[in-house]
Structure 1
Amino acid sequence: MNAIAIKAGRSSPEVIDVDVPDPDDGEALVRTLRVGIDGTDFEVLEGNHGGFPDGEDYQILGHEAVGVVDDPNGTDLEEGQLVVPTVRRPPDGSNDYFERGEPDMAPPDACLERGIDGAHGFMSEYFTSPAEYLIPVPTAFAETGVLVEPMSNTAKALEHAFASRSMFDWEPDTVLVLGNGPLGLLTLAMLDSTVDRSYCLGRRDRPDPTIDVIEELDATYVDSRETPVSEFAGVHEPADLVFEATGYAKHAYETVDALAPNGVGVLLGLPGDWTFDIDGGRLHRELVLENKALLGSVNSHVRHFESATESLERLPDWFLERIITDTYAPSEVDDAFTDDDDRIKTVVEFDTL
């Protein structure tokens, strides 16, 4: 079967021929429909994140997938059922995090991540997975189901944000999303009906498709070249919730300035090493005196995928039609992995229903 992989010593993906996998006991065989491409895939290609499976000189890419159960193999799944796979798997059997049903809380050395770190991904004609990590989704998600995985990360981040404020009545009226990539736009759309005012920060000039989507959602586009995060509150208003999806290290600290009293900043981006000066004492006082909070969030698990599925069903059709901008066949791998500001979400399509 065809698969898209990165080989050792290379920085560009290519189509390779591998055997169709045989499902083990408790696993199902899934026929892949679509796999999304995101920033983490490029980090893997550049060697900045993740690692190959043990003993392998290549890694099959892809962690955002939707597929059809081809062989249930004795599991509770049904042939023809549409599913989305979760990403994390236990290394060498299991551990406390997986036994507690909390793989998303495991540190990197206590988990494998399909298509990212230590395990092959889903960017192939077929893949296998334990049934417990396959989330059934509506048949209508055959084209959009690749959005469930990134949305599940937002679902988890929001769950943690609200949990951190659970000791008092916290209902955010304003949200600032840092980053106008696919995850930022999906987060903005998910929050659209729950907040009064929303803002999305980016670094793009008009005309731009992401700015069009932001404004169609009745949010305000903030150009960080004109209004840095540290000046956002003075130019616009303090935000009850700041959702960081840029991986720009300074934003983690500038978020404190952007927050309203009792506000929460959730960090999802993964920056590289960068040393710079900050006024740590001032930021510390802000956090303490104004009851602000910063928290990090990575990955997600079954309940977050289920929550994301419900959220995806509520998103407007126009948004879904415009968020997935480019679809490529596996043979067009070079085009699929070309970085282009006119694209929002790119997917590789292996098959259709």
Structure 2
Amino acid sequence: MKAVAVTPGTPNSVHLTEIEEPSLEQFPDGKGVLVKTLKVGVDATDREINEALYGNAPQGDDYLVIGHESFGIVEAVGPNVRRVKPGDYVTATVRRPGSSIYDVIGTNDMTSEETYYERGINLRHGFMTEKFADEEEYIVRVPEGLKHLHVLQEPMSCAAKAVQQAYEAQHRMKVWRPKLAYVLGSGQIGLLTTLILRLRGLEVYTIARGEAPNLKSEIVTGMEATYVSTREKTVEELAAQTGKPDLIVDATGSSKLAFDAMQYVGHNGVVVWTSITGGDENIEIPSDSVNLNWVLGNKLLLGSVNANRTHFESGIRDLALGDMMFPGVLDKILTHPVDGMDHYDEMMRLLVEDKDALKVFVNIAEG
């Protein structure tokens, strides 16, 4: 069957290839699920893998099938599968377990090992194929009423984890009731984080470069949050106007902006970094000032990567609520469909060249 892959370590090697069709026979415990792929989302991670900034092939292969944002329909299940059945719409988690205690208890996204396994990213093939198979544990059912939001399930899980991690860490405060949040970046993770925080009742400012009105500002406003362009107002000026936020989530992809965020969060506040920066940029920061204010302010910085099953499930619930609360808004994130894997070059061109491509996804099959 067809698949889109790269040759890890070789820049711009994305290509169409043929791979063996998966089978439930590879799951001797009877807990396998065979999925017909309907759509696969792509993002900056796929672009950077194609640029050979990171990513490794599974052992024994010289290629890596890309695509970690999956949406499909179950074709068949093993005899011991209970969570899904043929005909169900599903997505799949990305991280697979290693051998640390965190992997053993199902929190693969929190592994303590240096080597990690992610489908479509590192040491495990992805979902940009006609079919894929996996263990029941990693398959998450998507309500039929959310199939119009298809590939948003995976990025939503990452946003859900980032927010949940902040709240969990703040149990240290005994009482933490954040009222004001900044979201840095208005890509898919930034917009979905904005949604989650609005559903929690926070006043949210989503900060990006582009001047309003634009699609991203329209989506932010549609979620009853406030869009701020840094071309019109700096983060420092905004903080002087609103007061320092209780929570800042960085989703910019810029290490400079991630470090800048540390200067603006309020006392007892949290900064969450979600960006993956594969470059080698060096910046200067006011380290003495940041150190002083963070110690005196009991502030917290945490990194959040990937997601596990619980985050997928809570993210799907928030997508459902958000779709009802703000009808038609989330659909606007899905901007650039690509018809079929044969057009992988167009897929990559959109990721590299089109700044208006908020969410690129490939239509693999009808369903």
Which amino acid in structure 2 is aligned with residue 53 of structure 1? P
User: What SS does the aligned partner of 1:98 have?
Assistant: helix
Question: Residue 225 of structure 1: CA displacement?
Answer: 3.6
* Alpha-carbon distance between aligned partners in 1 of 2:13 and 2:80, rounded to the nearest angstrom: 37
Which segment is superposed worse, 186-195 or 291-300? 186-195
* Alpha-carbon distance between aligned partners in 2 of 1:143 and 1:7, rounded to the nearest angstrom: 32
Residues 160-215 of structure 1: CA deviation (Å, up to 9, x unaligned): 11122113221111111011111111111222232342111111234421122122
Asked if structure 1 preserves the Cα contact closer than 8 Å seen for 2:195 and 2:322, the reply is: yes
Q: Say whether 1:15 aligns with 2:16.
A: yes
Indicate the residue corresponding to 1:279 in structure 2. 286
Indicate the residue corresponding to 1:343 in structure 2. 357
User: What SS does the aligned partner of 1:21 have?
Assistant: coil
Q: Which runs of 4+ in 1 moved over 4 A?
A: none
Q: Which residue, 199, 218, 221 being the options, matches 2:224?
A: 218
Q: Which residue, 59, 67, 75 being the options, matches 1:70?
A: 75
User: What SS does the aligned partner of 1:275 have?
Assistant: coil
Asked if structure 2 preserves the Cα contact closer than 8 Å seen for 1:34 and 1:348, the reply is: yes
* Alpha-carbon distance between aligned partners in 1 of 2:281 and 2:255, rounded to the nearest angstrom: 7
TM-score normalised by structure 1 residue count = 0.93
Matches within 5 A, 1:121-200: 121-166=126-171, 167-200=173-206
User: What SS does the aligned partner of 1:251 have?
Assistant: helix
Residues 49-72 of structure 1: CA deviation (Å, up to 9, x unaligned): 222222222111111111111120
State the superposition RMSD in angstroms.
1.9
Which segment is superposed worse, 157-166 or 246-255? 246-255
Asked if structure 2 preserves the Cα contact closer than 8 Å seen for 1:324 and 1:346, the reply is: yes
Asked if structure 2 preserves the Cα contact closer than 8 Å seen for 1:34 and 1:143, the reply is: no
Which segment is superposed worse, 231-240 or 65-74? 231-240
Question: Residue 110 of structure 1: CA displacement?
Answer: 3.8
Matches within 5 A, 1:320-331: 320-329=330-339, 330-331=341-342
* Alpha-carbon distance between aligned partners in 1 of 2:199 and 2:38, rounded to the nearest angstrom: 30
Which amino acid in structure 1 is aligned with residue 364 of structure 2? F
Q: Unpaired segments of 5 or more residues in structure 1?
A: none
Which amino acid in structure 1 is aligned with residue 175 of structure 2? D
Q: Which residue, 57, 78, 86 being the options, matches 1:52?
A: 57
Which amino acid in structure 2 is aligned with residue 237 of structure 1? G
TM-score normalised by structure 2 residue count = 0.90
CA distance change for structure 1 residues 33 and 75 in 2, over 3 Å: closer, same or farther?
Answer: farther
* Alpha-carbon distance between aligned partners in 2 of 1:117 and 1:231, rounded to the nearest angstrom: 41
* Alpha-carbon distance between aligned partners in 1 of 2:234 and 2:268, rounded to the nearest angstrom: 21
Asked if structure 2 preserves the Cα contact closer than 8 Å seen for 1:152 and 1:305, the reply is: yes
Residues 285-343 of structure 1: CA deviation (Å, up to 9, x unaligned): 11121222111111111111110110111123311221111211222222222131222
CA distance change for structure 1 residues 129 and 100 in 2, over 3 Å: closer, same or farther?
Answer: same
User: What SS does the aligned partner of 1:318 have?
Assistant: coil
Residues 111-134 of structure 1: CA deviation (Å, up to 9, x unaligned): 210000111100111011111111
Which amino acid in structure 2 is aligned with residue 6 of structure 1? V
* Alpha-carbon distance between aligned partners in 2 of 1:230 and 1:53, rounded to the nearest angstrom: 45
Q: Unpaired segments of 5 or more residues in structure 2?
A: none
Matches within 5 A, 1:23-62: 23=24, 24-25=26-27, 26-62=31-67
CA distance change for structure 1 residues 12 and 320 in 2, over 3 Å: closer, same or farther?
Answer: farther
Counting matched residue pairs gives 351
Question: Residue 223 of structure 1: CA displacement?
Answer: 2.1
Which segment is superposed worse, 178-187 or 335-344? 335-344
Q: Say whether 1:3 aligns with 2:14.
A: no
* Alpha-carbon distance between aligned partners in 2 of 1:243 and 1:49, rounded to the nearest angstrom: 24
Which segment is superposed worse, 339-348 or 7-16? 7-16
* Alpha-carbon distance between aligned partners in 2 of 1:278 and 1:85, rounded to the nearest angstrom: 39
* Alpha-carbon distance between aligned partners in 1 of 2:241 and 2:38, rounded to the nearest angstrom: 45
* Alpha-carbon distance between aligned partners in 2 of 1:214 and 1:32, rounded to the nearest angstrom: 30
* Alpha-carbon distance between aligned partners in 1 of 2:139 and 2:338, rounded to the nearest angstrom: 24
